[in-house]
Amino acid sequence: MGLGSILFLGALLVLFAYGVMLYNGLVQVKHAVAKAWANIDVLLKQRHDELPKLVETCKQYKQFEQATLQRVVEARSQVHTARERQDVPALGQAEGLLRASLGQIFALAESYPELKANESFMQLQSRITSLENAIADRRELYNEAVNINNVRIEQFPDTLLAGFFRFAAKPLLEFTAAEKLDVDVKALFG
């Protein structure tokens, strides 16, 4: 075997090793997106399980606004459906509705001193608030993982392998325009 053949085989081996490294990197970022989504999913499921308890606690106070409770139940259902389908844009929109509805419940609770004094309500409010904060953190991590994935599959030479092996861009979990507006606290208490 001549020197030229050895150099050619060496170059092929280096090129192959480089391709394997690129491919493994793409697989790693793809799974980072899946892991980030799974982390959000766990928290959404926990919140999904806690919301009926909050609604039931509020229902014990007969004068509590039923329309507000109904909005929470409907938004919860939309979040669940979007989560099950892994429909990220629909989830973002449903999340906005749910957060707004929860904000209304918590604001309305201010008008019901006996509800605010209820230990169950206070524990549920605290639990749901902590879940909301954790979901916000996980949304940020998910969007970071998606951004890394989307950049990698567009960069050269990764784009060659990404196209060949059908690595796809993932959607960001975005806020709706309404979620970006300042909260009208006066309207919540009005």
User: Per-domain residue ranges for the chain?
Assistant: 22-189
For residue 185, what pLDDT is reported?
Answer: 44
The per-residue b/e assignment along 130-169, b for 16 or more CB within 10 angstroms, e otherwise, is: ebbebbeebbeebbebbeebbebbeeeebeebbeeeebee
For residue 81, what pLDDT is reported?
Answer: 94
Question: What is the pTM (predicted TM-score) of this model?
Answer: 0.78
Tokens of 100: 């707004």
pLDDT tens over the chain, length 190 residues: 789 999 999 999 999 999 999 999 999 999 999 999 999 999 999 999 999 998 888 888 767 788 888 889 999 999 999 999 988 888 988 988 898 889 888 888 888 888 878 888 889 999 999 999 999 999 999 999 999 999 999 999 999 999 999 999 999 988 666 555 554 544 544 4
Cβ distance 69 to 105 under 8 Å? yes
Task: Please give the CATH topology (third level) of the domain spanning 22-189.
Answer: de novo design (two linked rop proteins) (1.20.1440)
Q: What is the dihedral of CA 67, 48, 36, 31, to 10 degrees?
A: -120
For residue 75, what pLDDT is reported?
Answer: 92
Angle between helices 88-109 and 119-154 (to 10 degrees): 160
